[in-house]
């Protein structure tokens, strides 16, 4: 790019939202005042909504609806209101005199339209172009009167300069004639500001025409070329070009720079960028185009140029909605030249737009994406074109699949870079999005996939996050915000800022559910205030509504964390997994349920392509399950597993030394919160048995609860009744436990409550006597300890030991599983 000077032209274009009212006019003037160049071209659109209002007048006149006269009055009043706020009374009167002349002309034209009930294209173009005339005249008067800028402020009617001819591809600029006219209109020595009408032009006969929708952008590019401008600035109501639609990806970011080709690809696939056709004049001269925000001029902007310097391989991800896929399939197509020509020729003749084409190398089928509203006509056209082949069986079918969308991933940096496609499809797979068709050009600048319309937002967010253009969002629902759940929320709150900052991981807690109430939030519960919000909610618990909210389709990844011990909640796991919702839990009920239910759970996980993590079911935060998996997956053979799996029972037998009654220690443990609310849940040994079943099934054993020999420490006759009654009657049985303790002590041994499991499926749970030097005999008060005897760890078994009970360590194990899940889903941890 050449070194710039104050004499270089700079072209600015302001859209309708930028000139919507008087304050907007002042804002535009302030922006222009801040620019150094002494020569500026300022292209304005009509004030927001005016062009639509003018076109509505045409429609009303064609229907002989007299309301068009009221529309003319409303347009005058609107412009008068803006002018009164900006100009002196004399200037307002002069400006309105011009509008009144135009309105008189418009009234005559619309009267003629009403009489004929028809408006030709020339008439429509003439009427729709008045908005730009009115906005630019008003701004010229206002800006010239401000006196803040040196040089002349001149109004330039684009109809006197830009000559176009309409063709099949739209308006084509007659450059030679337009160049001659700009030189005649603007002398080379001109110093000042041109206020230029956007959108409108003239044909070779001098008849007014327009440049079509986005015409003012086109005007800016045309005048940038005619004036040989240094750069073009398109001012709109957003911060540059965003990496995705912010309504669907709230943390989409401004793209720093794009090549012309990248911008064209994004625009074609629906992104809010300058229209591809409107860039053509600037592209021809390699004039840089800036996309800026009128309402935040200091915010980041996007540069569109020939050679951008951005380091991003992927610049943007966008979608086209309301797509249908037409598929032509048949063995008779293989190796037959001209099939594609006939297919697309038939669609072209019926003016059916083809958005995307995909064909396998076998030539057995070819499909194309078309606008959904044209789908039925497209199928009829293709069937007619191949009617003979369909009748003869050479073509088996012409089918259409509606309710689809196209996701496009765009970036020049993708060319020659391995792994881009893999990342796209991996992100879609992890988000549970089915891909119906794929297309990629030889330039490798664009990867397009056809996906179900209902999954389009989920797909967009998943792929956007996979390239770290936005946070990796996981929709989290927590069931049971009680003892463990409360601590988990505290741990998540303490790390959420770090996870967002360092890893772009957004663990968005969108729902909390207890047995009585629930709290739902679209934007995510504030983890620093959740207890207040949860206590204040009056919404009754509704598990189905909770799951529907957490499992919302537009977020790519959804997980339910079950912090309860409820068997009723666990019964829903299979349905959730099959529906694409991941599960993290310390709840042992599902994995120790009857084998039939357990197998259905695993099948549901495979069907849904989901993850089911339950490290905290055994040993709380200790890596017991993961260690077992690692041993088996690396080929080690498990001989046996034994351990102290209950922190409660570990405490009881560590503390019990015969000097105090066993029942007293049970009562003390309950007061300290070491036991379940009903100590019998611990003393029965059922919890330990469930853990053995979980480990046994991880080993590949078909264990059921009935296969585990369990010694319960709940004395016979005390299984039923209230908790208080149990605690009152428990001392009656202290003598039996003291007798066992004394016999063990006399033999130089200690008592421990141990679970044992062997490779042949033998499983036992109960009190055993161990040597005082045994690893299980010397542990901390509430420790769990698990010993793996394997082919590798034979003479010296592998031991995992540490706190195996308590809210903090259990919540830590759940949190670790949640982070592990996030990594599986693509988060870069």
Q: Taking a C-beta distance cutoff of 8 angstroms, is the pair 284, 296 a contact?
A: no
Which band of pLDDT confidence, cut at 50, 70 and 90, is reported for residue 4?
very low
Q: Is the pLDDT of residue 439 over 50?
A: yes
Q: Residue 778 has what pLDDT?
A: 87
pTM: 0.73
Closest C-alpha to 437, from 318, 519, 341, 325:
325
Contacts of 105 (CB under 8 A, 6+ apart): none
Quickly list H helices, 17-88: 22-33, 50-62, 67-86
Q: Residue 253 has what pLDDT?
A: 86
Which DSSP state fits 669?
A: H
Which band of pLDDT confidence, cut at 50, 70 and 90, is reported for residue 372?
very high
Q: Is the pLDDT of residue 127 over 90?
A: yes
Other beta carbons less than 10 A from residue 334's beta carbon: 12
Tens-digit pLDDT profile for residues 377-436: 999 999 999 998 888 888 888 999 999 999 999 988 888 788 888 889 999 998 889 999
Find the mean pLDDT for residues 20-29.
96
Q: Is the pLDDT of residue 693 over 50?
A: yes
Which DSSP state fits 572?
A: T
C-alpha dist (Å) from residue 685 to 111, 290, 743, 769: 93, 71, 22, 17
Alpha carbon distance 250, 825 (integer Å): 20
Which band of pLDDT confidence, cut at 50, 70 and 90, is reported for residue 3?
very low
Contacts of 668 (CB under 8 A, 6+ apart): 655
Q: Taking a C-beta distance cutoff of 8 angstroms, is the pair 581, 551 a contact?
A: yes
324 phi/psi in degrees, rounded to 5 = -125, 150
Helix (H) or strand (E) holding 320: strand 316-329
CA atoms within 13 A on the CB side of 370: 25
Choice among 38-52, 194-208, 362-376, 554-568 with the minimum mean pLDDT: 362-376
Q: Is the pLDDT of residue 276 over 90?
A: no
Tens-digit pLDDT profile for residues 197-243: 999 999 999 999 999 877 899 999 999 999 999 999 999 988 888 88
Q: Is the pLDDT of residue 194 over 90?
A: yes
Q: Residue 7 has what pLDDT?
A: 67
> Tokens 């080709």 identify what position?
261
Contacts of 503 (CB under 8 A, 6+ apart): 472, 827, 828, 829
Alpha carbon distance 652, 787 (integer Å): 20
**Exposed, middle or buried, 397 (CB in 10 Å: 0-12/13-18/19+)?**
exposed
> Tokens 């925000």 identify what position?
293
Tens-digit pLDDT profile for residues 712-757: 999 999 999 999 999 999 999 999 999 999 999 999 999 999 999 9
Return mean pLDDT, the chain: 91
List the catalytic residue out of 691, 738, 749, 762: 691
Which band of pLDDT confidence, cut at 50, 70 and 90, is reported for residue 47?
very high
The C-alpha torsion from 85 through 90 and 96 to 101, rounded to 10°, is -170
Which band of pLDDT confidence, cut at 50, 70 and 90, is reported for residue 270?
low
Closest C-alpha to 489, from 519, 540, 515, 525:
525
> Tokens 């799996």 identify what position?
645
Tens-digit pLDDT profile for residues 454-464: 999 999 999 98
Q: Is the pLDDT of residue 444 over 60?
A: yes
Tens-digit pLDDT profile for residues 759-797: 999 999 999 999 999 989 988 888 899 999 999 999 899
- β-pair partners for 612: 583
Other beta carbons less than 10 A from residue 369's beta carbon: 26
Taking the alpha carbons at both ends of the chain, their separation in whole angstroms is: 42
Alpha carbon distance 574, 497 (integer Å): 33
Q: Where are the beta strands (DSSP E) in 285-364?
A: 289-293, 302-305, 316-329, 356-359
Quickly list H helices, 537-580: 543-550, 567-570, 573-578
Q: Residue 555 has what pLDDT?
A: 85
Which band of pLDDT confidence, cut at 50, 70 and 90, is reported for residue 2?
very low
The arrangement of strands across the sheet holding 783-790 comes to 708-710, 763-771, 749-758, 638-644, 783-790, 798-803
Q: Taking a C-beta distance cutoff of 8 angstroms, is the pair 446, 467 a contact?
A: no
Pairing mode of beta strands 192-197, 39-44 = parallel
Alpha carbon distance 215, 777 (integer Å): 84
Q: Taking a C-beta distance cutoff of 8 angstroms, is the pair 274, 217 a contact?
A: yes
- β-pair partners for 586: none
> Tokens 């509704």 identify what position?
542
670 assigned to active site: no
Q: Residue 337 has what pLDDT?
A: 80
Q: Is the pLDDT of residue 1 over 80?
A: no
Tens-digit pLDDT profile for residues 141-188: 999 998 676 789 999 999 999 999 998 878 999 999 999 999 999 998
Residue scoring higher pLDDT (826 or 129): 129
> Tokens 């389009």 identify what position?
456
Q: Taking a C-beta distance cutoff of 8 angstroms, is the pair 192, 152 a contact?
A: yes
Helix (H) or strand (E) holding 133: helix 130-146
Closest C-alpha to 12, from 30, 3, 21, 20:
30
Which DSSP string do the residues of 154-220 spell out, in sequence order?
EEE-GGGT-BEEEETTEEEE-HHHHHHHHHHHS-TT--EEEEEE-SEEE-TTS-EEE--TTHHHHHH
Alpha carbon distance 636, 39 (integer Å): 79
Q: Taking a C-beta distance cutoff of 8 angstroms, is the pair 368, 306 a contact?
A: no
Q: Residue 5 has what pLDDT?
A: 53
Other beta carbons less than 10 A from residue 185's beta carbon: 15
């Amino acid at each position: 790019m050449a070194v710039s000077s104050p004499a270089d032209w700079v072209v600015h274009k302001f859209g309708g939202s930028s000139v919507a009212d008087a304050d907007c006019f002042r804002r535009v003037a302030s922006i222009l005042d801040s620019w150094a160049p002494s020569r500026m071209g300022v292209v304005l659109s009509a004030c927001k909504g005016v062009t639509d209002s003018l076109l509505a007048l045409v429609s009303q006149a064609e229907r002989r609806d007299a309301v068009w006269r009221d529309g003319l009055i409303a347009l005058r009043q609107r412009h008068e209101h803006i002018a009164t706020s900006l100009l002196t009374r004399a200037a307002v009167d002069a400006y309105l005199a011009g509008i009144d002349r135009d309105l008189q002309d418009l009234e005559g034209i619309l009267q003629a339209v009403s009489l004929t009930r028809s408006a030709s294209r020339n008439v429509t173009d003439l009427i729709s172009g008045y908005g730009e005339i009115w906005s630019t005249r008003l701004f010229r008067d206002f800006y010239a009167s401000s006196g803040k800028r040196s040089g002349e402020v001149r109004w330039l009617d684009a109809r006197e300069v830009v000559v176009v001819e309409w063709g099949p591809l739209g308006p084509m600029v007659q450059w030679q004639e337009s160049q001659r006219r700009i030189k005649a209109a603007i002398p080379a020595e001109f110093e000042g500001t041109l206020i230029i009408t956007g959108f409108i032009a003239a044909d070779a006969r001098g008849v007014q025409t327009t440049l079509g929708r986005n015409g003012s952008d086109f005007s800016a590019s045309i005048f940038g070329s005619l004036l040989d401008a240094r750069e073009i600035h398109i001012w709109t109501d957003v911060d540059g070009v965003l990496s995705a639609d912010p309504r669907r990806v709230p943390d989409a970011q401004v793209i720093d720079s794009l090549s012309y080709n990248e911008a064209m690809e994004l625009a074609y696939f629906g992104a809010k960028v300058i229209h591809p056709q409107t860039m053509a004049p600037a592209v021809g001269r390699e004039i840089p185009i800036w996309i800026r925000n009128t309402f935040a001029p200091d915010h980041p902007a996007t540069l569109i140029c020939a050679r951008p310097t951005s380091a991003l391989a992927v610049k943007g991800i966008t979608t086209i909605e309301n797509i249908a896929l037409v598929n032509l399939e048949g063995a008779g197509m293989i190796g037959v030249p001209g099939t594609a020509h006939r297919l697309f020729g038939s669609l072209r003749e019926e003016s059916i737009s083809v958005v995307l084409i995909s064909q396998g190398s076998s030539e057995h089928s070819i499909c194309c994406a078309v606008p959904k509203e044209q789908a039925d006509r497209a199928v009829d056209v293709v069937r007619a074109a191949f009617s003979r082949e369909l009748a003869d069986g050479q073509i088996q079918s012409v089918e259409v699949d509606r309710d689809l969308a196209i996701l496009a991933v765009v970036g020049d940096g993708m060319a020659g870079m391995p792994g881009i496609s893999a990342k796209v499809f991996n992100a879609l797979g992890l988000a549970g999005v089915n891909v119906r068709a794929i297309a990629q050009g030889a330039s490798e600048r664009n990867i397009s996939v056809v996906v179900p319309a209902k999954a389009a937002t989920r797909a967009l967010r998943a792929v956007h996050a996979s390239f770290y253009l936005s946070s990796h969002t996981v929709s989290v629902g927590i069931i049971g915000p009680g003892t463990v759940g409360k601590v988990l929320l505290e741990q998540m709150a303490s790390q959420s800022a770090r996870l967002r900052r360092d890893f772009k991981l957004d663990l968005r807690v969108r729902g909390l559910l207890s047995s009585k109430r629930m709290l739902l939030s679209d934007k995510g519960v504030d983890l620093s205030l959740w207890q207040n919000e949860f206590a204040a909610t009056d919404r009754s618990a509704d598990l189905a509504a909770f799951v529907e909210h957490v499992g919302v389709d537009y977020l790519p990844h959804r997980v339910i964390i079950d912090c309860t011990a409820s068997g009723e909640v666990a019964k829903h796991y299979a349905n959730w997994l099959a529906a694409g919702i991941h599960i993290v839990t310390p709840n042992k009920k599902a994995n120790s349920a009857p084998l039939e239910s357990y197998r259905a759970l695993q099948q549901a996980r495979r069907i849904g392509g989901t993850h089911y993590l339950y490290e905290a079911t055994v040993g709380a935060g200790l890596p017991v399950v993961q260690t077992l998996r690692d041993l088996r997956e690396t080929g080690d053979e498990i001989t046996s597993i034994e351990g102290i799996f209950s922190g409660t029972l570990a405490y009881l037998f560590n503390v019990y030394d015969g000097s105090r009654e066993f029942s007293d220690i049970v009562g003390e443990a309950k007061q300290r919160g070491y036991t379940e609310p009903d100590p019998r849940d611990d003393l029965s040994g059922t919890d330990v048995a469930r853990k053995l079943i979980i480990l046994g099934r991880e080993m590949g054993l078909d264990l059921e609860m009935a296969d585990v020999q369990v010694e319960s420490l709940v004395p016979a006759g005390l299984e039923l009744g209230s908790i208080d009654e149990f605690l009152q009657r428990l001392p009656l049985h202290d003598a039996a436990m003291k007798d066992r303790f004394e016999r063990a002590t006399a033999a130089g041994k200690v008592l421990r409550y141990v679970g044992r499991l062997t490779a042949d499926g033998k499983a036992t749970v109960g009190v055993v006597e161990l040597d005082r030097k045994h690893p299980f005999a010397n542990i901390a008060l509430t420790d769990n300890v698990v010993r793996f005897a394997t082919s590798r760890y034979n003479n010296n078994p592998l031991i995992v030991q540490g706190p195996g009970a308590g809210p903090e360590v259990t919540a830590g194990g759940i949190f670790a599983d949640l982070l592990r899940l996030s990594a599986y889903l693509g988060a870069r941890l």
